[in-house]
Structure 1
Amino acid sequence: MRVALVGLGYIADLHYQAVRKAGADAIIGCDVNPAVAEAFASRPGVEAVVGSVDEVVALRPDAAHVLTPPNAHFAVAKPLLAAGIDLLLEKPMCDRSSDARSLIAQAGEAGVLLGTGHNFLLYPIWDKLKAAVDGGAVGALRSIDVCYRRPFPPLRANNTQPWAMRGSRNILFEVAPHPFASALDLVPSVDVEHVTTSRPQDLPNGVRFFREWNILGKSGDVSVRFDLSFEDAYSESFVHVRGSTGSVVLDFVHNSVVVNTRSFAPEYVELAEQGLHSASAYARGAVGTLLETMAGKVGSKKSGAPYEQSIDRTVAQFYADRQRRVLDRRLGPDLALRVVELGEAVADAAHLPETAQPDPVAQVRAAGPAPDPTRPRALVLGGTGFIGTALVRRLATQGVYTRVVARRPESARARFADLPSVDVVQGDLERPDELVPYLADVDVVYHLAKSVEGTWEGVLQHEVEPTKRFIDLCADAHIGRFVYASSIAIFDAGDASRPITEATPPSPGVVATSNYARAKAEIEAYLLERHRDAGFPAVIIRPAIVLGVGSDPAHAGIAAWPHPNVALHFGSGRHRLPIVLVDDVADAFAKALDRPGIEGRCFNLSSPGCITAEEYLEEVARASANPILRKPRSLRTMYASQVAKWLVKKAVGRKDPFPRWADCNGRSFASPFDCSVTEAALDWHPESDRSVLLARGVTEPAEAFIR
């Protein structure tokens, strides 16, 4: 069996594992990003990787999984269906019901299967709930409450790249299909009566994202309610079905199902029985989930976390259905269409427009200064990130023509629409040769981009090697200056008697452990080598812990965060942290534009240490009105835990680097940072007043984050 995976984002990894378990002999990968497709090509069982749906059709797979964002499902699925290829689409089928109906009709005419992976209905515990309801255990249905309250990670980072973040209604077709499908597998339809949206978050691309949704509806005489929340709070996800003689509660988070029914016992005995039954169900779910998740982590092909199992079961069900040419109700087009229709009904009731992205022109508030022809012209990679945005705005306010390279230029144009001196172009560091035309008329290049790969091989392929190639191209183009954003993460800052200065070398122990630090150190070394050998005008800037409105209060440099609002100090938490405001960082980078005599040098950016991790967390908790569960953790205990995890990973064939003490010890930030050389060389004067640093770096970001 030959299977194509179209769209190789994060969910593709689970589908890849699942189709291998389902018996696929060969896998075809398809992604418009050549670097992503190329990385996928090295996986076992991959026959070919291509960049277009037409190429997939030409290879004639037996089936294909459409794993692109929902707004692309229709365009991707049509040619595949026309070629007679059975399809499994990631939920939802489409983001418009008219498109879904068109695909259903096309599949019917072609005689091919059109499945949709509503994988929450393939959790083993869903079978138990469905059996209890269909078997009459709860009597006549009275109400269905579906609660989905789980953090949506892109919100925390203000990451507007995911499709769900590019339109106010998009979340209804990205995450909400899970709760919608749960209700619609129990009742035939839901008439939406009222929708309340609350806790809006205005994203950098101009989209207003609603973090809470309360949806009231009816299915005949059955009340249906959806409670959706996407902010950082305690995770809950459950379905509560109440009937005339009992109720069922399915808890997705704790992987348990509790069925309570009337009995012949006195009420006080019945309540005791129900309490014991509930406790037993939760205990079984907890122990089972723990064992299966641990088994999955050590490589068992038949185990894994419940979510991973649900993907496996969805894929296995689809291929079993292919044999009999009839889809299970949970994968079938009838349910899939009803889910999309419900999403549209909710969006309409909330009066949300279909516009996926606000018009950048409409975002213009006030024109900034026009470019100053006497100033150098700049090109910025990574200009839409936290530091990059501040830098672009600083350059623009100084009249510097600034060209921003962005993967998704529409979002970046909306962000900088009020700045006439900013020009946004489409490009990707992973394809550096395509950036050469953008170098033709610029004097200074700022490189603030980084990858999010989890393995060194991925970081090397997607960040280090493309950056080295881009440096060479900049040299060929005779760029006047190349300013690279490195990081203080390359240092072992764990010795209180050893100040960190610009002359401090990268720590071998830190670089050997952290892929992020290793990438920064390798690129630094290459830049300095090019400067020594050929006079390449490199300037390296290493920001410390950068804070400001827009930064994540759960900063990884401050503490370890096993959960939102739960923090573990790196050591005592009483060392003064190397903190710097984002506006001061932008100021330093802007000064590097034309400051004479700084080529071939490295500069660290930190204000004088005056705030500890303890004090930081106390202020975040106060300003956000969200208590933070926190405690110190011995560095030796933390290091022992890292070594133990490494041993387990090694036992199952993982090739992660052995953790070094320097990486763990350095996180305490016991070492003071002396940035006097930077201050003198750049004429840079960062904020040093503790009250101002606390207000602008901690209080204001925390208050803005909860808004």
Structure 2
Amino acid sequence: MKTQADHKIILIGAGFISGVHARAIQSLPDCQIKAIVDPNLAAAKALAGQFEIPQCFSHLEEALAAVTFDTAHVLTPPNTHFELVQALLHHGKHVLVEKPMAETIADCDTLNALAQAQGLTLAVNQNFVFHPVMEKAKQYLDANAIGPVKSVSLNYEMPLRQLDSGQFGHWMFRKPVNLLLEQAVHPLSQLLSLFGAPSGPLISRISQIKTLNDQPCILRLDAMGDLAVPFHLSFALGQSFPVWQLEITGEDGSLHLDFIRQRVILNERSRFLPALDTAVTASAMAGSLLSQGFRQLIDYAGAITGFKPSKDPFFLSMQASIRAFYQSIETKQHPIHNATFGRTLVALCHQLAGKSLGAQHLQATQAPRAKPRAMPLTEQRPYDVLVIGGTGFIGRHVVRQLLTAGYSVGIMARHLDALPECFQHPAIQWIQGDVCDQATVDHAVSRATYVINLAHGGGSGDWQAIQHAMVDSARYVALACQSHGITRLVHLGSIASLYLGNDRTVIHSASPVDSAPHHRAHYARAKAMADHMLMHEFSTLDVVLLRPGIVVGEGGLIQHTGIGFFNNSQYFIGWNLGHNPLPFVLVQDVASATLAAMTQPDAKGKTLNLVGDVRPSAREYVAMLRKGLSRPYRYVPQLTLWLYLQELGKWAIKRMAGRHPEIPSLRDLRSRAMNARFDTSGEKRLLNWHPVNDWQVFYQQAVLVHQPPSATAVHSQADQATPAMHNALTPDSSSNKVSAL
């Protein structure tokens, strides 16, 4: 029998999933994490500090030479799995690798053969096989609750964060099959774990493809075939409403598994006559739903207060997957998620992609578009404008306008993958680097005449991390501009640095930052500190500070936190009752003001607020979205004080449970409601700036721009054909607002 900490483990990779693995491992009595390996040593050290892990390394070879361990968890991007797992197996280590096992079937076969030759356990973390709902379903099936199974249907229609946020440089968008290897393996693994591998040919059809990074991206796929029973899979990504349901039909009943709502519904006969059977079975199902719902509520309350362990299904599935892996090492039995299982899933994904796209078309699209090359320092030429963070939402519009105006542009960004066609421009030079890297910033700035800083450092986590990412990075840019005599620095901050909670306050260009930033959320506090630092510590530097309002438009977010917060994508939960005009501004107008601020002599040393002339309330904006996008969006008004009392109640519960969260701030919530008014007449005169003042143009560029291409065409035809549509968008003569929304 294993003794305490008999499994000595290293984690390779220090991303989000590594924290989940670390937490699950530390919940097992016979496991101890000895080290973390990640090229980003700072990330490794942060994770090590959180979980009290003794050592960190940048490379696997260092860990192999310095640490005694028997098992490794490979938690890196899929394109690195093969080499890392192969090296670990050669060194006699058991391996649990995140899905997919490898990119190709041949690589999976090589790893599987090597693990068998070495007598080692190799498993793939298909954790949703161990989801609590799956465990409940297996109990019903083992008890023959629905009799012999006749057919299976799995519907997987889920959002995809990377798709929504435009992170097209992600590995999953590099080849058509990658999206299946990254996402489709979740439902496929559940089908295969219950009913085995396909026993015959598959019929598959892709009904929705989107081109990303010059690659066909599979967004919707249907597949049919035979496992132990006939099955149908409906797979779709980029969906707003999440659906993940498995329907198992038997001779004597059916099972409905809902993985989103964490429930299992057994539909079976009763002993009564048909007239009464309907009522009896409906009552039984309702009772089951109520019981499961209340149990989840009790579990959630217990976890929040600390009286019960977390029942989060994702964590429980991870914990069960990892526990099964270590039990298989001890018993020398193959786990359900072994290398053969992982290989079958990879082969199935390739088969589905190949059948649906066609092998010839698939081969013709294997090579992704070459990403822009970051030039070595010795090759870099001077450029007119350095745009730091030029690949972001606002940055893309700024770069487009700079190129149109004839400027040569240097763009500094952390990632250079999957950029729009406009970035393949001869007037652009690329500098790959992080704004928190002072040396890289200095080199990039040294070749510029003007500098536009749009980056905030990507800060997240605790206050120290956010301060470093947002305040220190702004200081590095300013120091470099000062050192190299830059003609002008244009720094884009945010109106979040101001206090906007008083409806009697009129904000103008001379308004100071919030006088009590320590009572604000981390983001607003950091923005205020960065503004104050630039205006006071660098008083001799030619700098213009721009503070955009709620920026909307092409490439931006529909669910902007300036309108409210979101438990899901449908409900905009307001910071107040939602009647006050909000400081919206179109992204094109922010870009034009940025270019004007770069060269306007009188703008030196000024802080300018970029707020447009069309300022719908939160209610009006959500009504625009509902009408223009044909979606059931809803605004949920609430008193700011009531919201504060809710947050205070959550804080009190966490304190009683022994945690130490920061106390909520009423000042911060009032500022988020943005009751203050803005006077931008000074900004318009100084920059000769003319933001959009037509409500219909705003509606087009802030709302309709988010329609899918097909919907845009339909909407355009309806717009011409339906007088009611025009009436709905006719500005009211007294208020110049979109009426009848």
TM-score (norm 1): 0.91
Task: Give the Cα separation in 1 of the matches to 2:99 and 2:518.
Answer: 41
1:613 corresponds in structure 2 to: 618
Give the match's secondary structure for 2:112. helix
CA gap of 1:417–1:388, structure 2 versus 1, over 3 A, is: closer
Q: 2:417 aligns with which of 410, 431, 436?
A: 410
Deviations 1:621-643 (A, max 9, x none): 11111111333111111111122
Task: Give the Cα separation in 1 of the matches to 2:462 and 2:530.
Answer: 17
Task: Give the Cα separation in 1 of the matches to 2:668 and 2:226.
Answer: 56
For 1:449, give the aligned amino acid.
A
For 1:20, give the aligned amino acid.
Q
1:538 corresponds in structure 2 to: 543
Q: 2:369 aligns with which of 359, 362, 377?
A: 359
Deviates more, 1:110-119 or 1:282-291: 282-291
Task: Give the Cα separation in 1 of the matches to 2:672 and 2:79.
Answer: 42
Q: 2:587 aligns with which of 579, 582, 585?
A: 582
2:632 corresponds in structure 1 to: 627
Q: Is 1:239 matched with 2:246?
A: yes
Q: Is 1:33 matched with 2:43?
A: no
Q: Is 1:522 matched with 2:532?
A: no
Deviates more, 1:645-654 or 1:492-501: 645-654
Q: 1:138 aligns with which of 116, 131, 146?
A: 146
2:289 corresponds in structure 1 to: 282
1:484 corresponds in structure 2 to: 491
Task: Give the Cα separation in 2 of the matches to 1:91 and 1:479.
Answer: 48
2:507/2:679 contact within 8 Å kept: yes
CA gap of 1:478–1:30, structure 2 versus 1, over 3 A, is: farther
Q: 2:316 aligns with which of 295, 309, 316?
A: 309
Task: Report the alpha carbon displacement of residue 118 of structure 1 after superposing the two structures with TM.
Answer: 1.2
Task: Report the alpha carbon displacement of residue 443 of structure 1 after superposing the two structures with TM.
Answer: 1.7
Task: Give the Cα separation in 2 of the matches to 1:193 and 1:147.
Answer: 17
1:549 corresponds in structure 2 to: 554
Q: Is 1:442 matched with 2:452?
A: no
Give the match's secondary structure for 1:233. coil
Task: Report the alpha carbon displacement of residue 277 of structure 1 after superposing the two structures with TM.
Answer: 3.1
Deviates more, 1:82-91 or 1:456-465: 456-465
Give structure 1 stretches of 5+ with no counterpart. Answer: 363-372
1:128/1:257 contact within 8 Å kept: yes
Q: Is 1:638 matched with 2:643?
A: yes
Q: 1:77 aligns with which of 70, 74, 85?
A: 85
- Percent identity, aligned pairs only, is 27
Task: Give the Cα separation in 2 of the matches to 1:143 and 1:577.
Answer: 53
1:346 corresponds in structure 2 to: 352
Task: Give the Cα separation in 2 of the matches to 1:189 and 1:611.
Answer: 55
Q: 2:475 aligns with which of 459, 468, 475?
A: 468
Q: 1:672 aligns with which of 668, 677, 681?
A: 677
Deviations 1:234-273 (A, max 9, x none): 3221211112232222221222223334565433444444
1:698 corresponds in structure 2 to: 703
Q: Is 1:115 matched with 2:123?
A: yes
Q: 2:101 aligns with which of 71, 74, 93?
A: 93
2:385 corresponds in structure 1 to: 378
Deviates more, 1:40-49 or 1:576-585: 40-49
Task: Report the alpha carbon displacement of residue 301 of structure 1 after superposing the two structures with TM.
Answer: 7.4
Q: 2:27 aligns with which of 21, 29, 34?
A: 21
CA gap of 1:461–1:40, structure 2 versus 1, over 3 A, is: farther
2:377 corresponds in structure 1 to: none
Deviations 1:414-471 (A, max 9, x none): 5444422112232122333234332332122222123151422331344433443343
Q: 2:653 aligns with which of 648, 652, 655?
A: 648
1:427 corresponds in structure 2 to: 433
Give the match's secondary structure for 1:482. strand
Task: Give the Cα separation in 2 of the matches to 1:304 and 1:462.
Answer: 34
Give the match's secondary structure for 1:430. coil
For 1:69, give the aligned amino acid.
P
Task: Report the alpha carbon displacement of residue 619 of structure 1 after superposing the two structures with TM.
Answer: 1.3
Give the match's secondary structure for 1:176. helix
For 2:591, give the aligned amino acid.
A
1:46 corresponds in structure 2 to: 53
Deviates more, 1:481-490 or 1:658-667: 658-667
1:172 corresponds in structure 2 to: 180
Give the match's secondary structure for 2:645. helix
Task: Give the Cα separation in 2 of the matches to 1:401 and 1:587.
Answer: 17
Give the match's secondary structure for 1:250. strand
Task: Give the Cα separation in 1 of the matches to 2:129 and 2:249.
Answer: 19
Q: 2:396 aligns with which of 379, 389, 393?
A: 389
CA gap of 1:80–1:361, structure 2 versus 1, over 3 A, is: closer
2:726 corresponds in structure 1 to: none
2:572/2:635 contact within 8 Å kept: yes
For 2:436, give the aligned amino acid.
E
Q: Is 1:603 matched with 2:613?
A: no
2:232 corresponds in structure 1 to: 225
Give the match's secondary structure for 1:142. strand
Give structure 2 stretches of 5+ with no counterpart. Answer: 373-380, 713-741
Give the match's secondary structure for 1:294. helix
CA gap of 1:555–1:476, structure 2 versus 1, over 3 A, is: same
1:509/1:660 contact within 8 Å kept: no
1:8 corresponds in structure 2 to: 14
1:192/1:215 contact within 8 Å kept: no
CA gap of 1:282–1:698, structure 2 versus 1, over 3 A, is: same
2:614/2:698 contact within 8 Å kept: no
Task: Give the Cα separation in 1 of the matches to 2:177 and 2:549.
Answer: 37
Task: Report the alpha carbon displacement of residue 655 of structure 1 after superposing the two structures with TM.
Answer: 4.5
Q: Is 1:573 matched with 2:578?
A: yes
Deviations 1:60-85 (A, max 9, x none): 42221111222221122121221112
Q: Is 1:195 matched with 2:204?
A: yes
Task: Give the Cα separation in 1 of the matches to 2:283 and 2:529.
Answer: 59
For 2:482, give the aligned amino acid.
A
Task: Report the alpha carbon displacement of residue 604 of structure 1 after superposing the two structures with TM.
Answer: 0.8
Q: How many residues align?
A: 690
Deviations 1:268-294 (A, max 9, x none): 444444323322332232222223233
Task: Give the Cα separation in 1 of the matches to 2:79 and 2:124.
Answer: 15
Task: Give the Cα separation in 2 of the matches to 1:581 and 1:356.
Answer: 38
Task: Give the Cα separation in 2 of the matches to 1:464 and 1:81.
Answer: 44
Task: Report the alpha carbon displacement of residue 179 of structure 1 after superposing the two structures with TM.
Answer: 0.1
For 2:206, give the aligned amino acid.
T
CA gap of 1:525–1:700, structure 2 versus 1, over 3 A, is: same
